[in-house]
């Protein structure tokens, strides 16, 4: 009968205790020696378990200081009017968004269908990473109709908030028209972006946002780190 490796059992135990709040965010874990004594194993086995937690972004080793909990799973609602900064701030965490790409190019068939455009019409493509308390939660790609929003790239370079940039371009408000969720495994580049091991679980959200008149203004794809985010679906 196949047995689970001891280090995996230790990692699962510590992960469960972190999730239940036994070790709050920014708390230092017990030393390797203390954990080895607790579980009745050698320090090498403990080190293997901690390396697994670190690879999945649950803990962070600081040289000379110890191993610290990076944060709890973040509750993220998927409603009609969800705004990233508001959702994260409401939980007492510090939101951050880094934009890594802003580009204008012809749209493909999927983008055209989502935004009500013709294939090859120009679109703005925006990519980046969303984080809470310094920990990456999600990678995103948003596509916007360029003819309607010609100044969007400039607005996003001034302020990475998509809500603020759309408002600056004349879109006073917008809501979620549709969302599709699919479970995926992180491929190498996505894993690197989210600081996850290759093959780690992620949730992909594909959504269309519309303005108050029901016209599509954003076609977005977001890849959420599965171990760091709890998605909830509701009317909000």
Tens digits of residue pLDDT in 103-151? 999 999 999 999 999 999 999 999 999 988 777 889 999 999 999 999 9
Q: Cα separation of 162 and 156, whole Å? A: 7
- Going from N- to C-terminal start, the domains of the chain cover 6-69, 74-233
Q: pLDDT tier at 58 (50, 70, 90 boundaries)?
A: confident
What's the mean pLDDT when you consider all of the chain? 89
Query: Around 234, how many Cα atoms within 13 Å sit in the side-chain half-sphere?
Result: 7
Q: Is residue 140 a contact partner of residue 130, using CB atoms and an 8 Å limit?
A: yes
Q: Is residue 175 a contact partner of residue 209, using CB atoms and an 8 Å limit?
A: yes
DSSP assignment of 137-184: EEEEEEEEETTT-TTHHHHHHH---HHHHHHHTT---EEEEEEEEEEE
Q: Which CATH architecture has domain 74-233?
A: 3-Layer(aba) Sandwich (3.40)
pLDDT computed for residue 44 by the predictor: 95
Q: Which CATH architecture has domain 6-69?
A: Orthogonal Bundle (1.10)
pLDDT computed for residue 59 by the predictor: 86
Of the candidate ranges 18-22, 41-45, 203-207, 208-212, the one whose mean pLDDT is the lowest: 18-22
Residue 134's closest CA among 18, 220, 228?
Answer: 228
Q: pLDDT tier at 82 (50, 70, 90 boundaries)?
A: confident
**Residue 184, pLDDT above cutoff 60:** yes
Q: pLDDT tier at 224 (50, 70, 90 boundaries)?
A: very high
**Residue 72, pLDDT above cutoff 70:** no
pLDDT computed for residue 1 by the predictor: 44
Tens digits of residue pLDDT in 159-176? 999 999 999 999 999 999
Q: pLDDT tier at 20 (50, 70, 90 boundaries)?
A: confident
Q: pLDDT tier at 71 (50, 70, 90 boundaries)?
A: low
Segment 23-38 shows an average pLDDT of: 90
Q: pLDDT tier at 2 (50, 70, 90 boundaries)?
A: very low
Q: pLDDT tier at 9 (50, 70, 90 boundaries)?
A: very high
pLDDT computed for residue 201 by the predictor: 87
**Residue 183, pLDDT above cutoff 60:** yes
């Amino acid at each position: 009968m196949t047995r689970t490796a001891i280090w995996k059992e230790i990692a699962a135990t510590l992960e469960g205790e972190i999730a239940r709040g036994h070790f709050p965010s920014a708390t230092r874990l017990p030393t390797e020696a203390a954990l080895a004594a607790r579980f009745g194993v050698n320090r090498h086995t403990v080190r293997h378990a901690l390396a697994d937690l670190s690879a999945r972004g649950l803990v962070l080793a600081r040289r000379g200081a110890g191993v610290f909990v990076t944060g709890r799973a973040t509750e993220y609602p998927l409603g009609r009017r969800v705004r990233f900064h508001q959702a994260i701030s409401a939980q007492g965490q510090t939101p951050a968004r880094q934009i890594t790409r802003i580009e204008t190019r012809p749209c493909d068939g999927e983008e055209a269908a989502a935004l009500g455009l013709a294939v090859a019409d120009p679109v703005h493509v925006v990519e980046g990473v969303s984080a809470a308390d310094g920990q990456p939660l999600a990678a995103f790609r948003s596509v916007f109709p360029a003819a309607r929003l010609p100044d969007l790239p400039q607005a996003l370079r001034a302020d990475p908030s998509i809500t603020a940039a759309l408002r600056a371009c004349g879109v006073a408000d917008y809501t979620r028209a549709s969302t599709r969720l699919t479970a995926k495994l992180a491929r190498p580049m996505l894993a690197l972006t989210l600081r996850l091991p290759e093959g780690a679980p992620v949730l992909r959200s594909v959504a269309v946002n519309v303005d108050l008149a029901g016209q599509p203004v954003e076609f977005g794809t977001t890849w959420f780190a599965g171990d760091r985010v709890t998605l909830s679906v509701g009317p909000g």
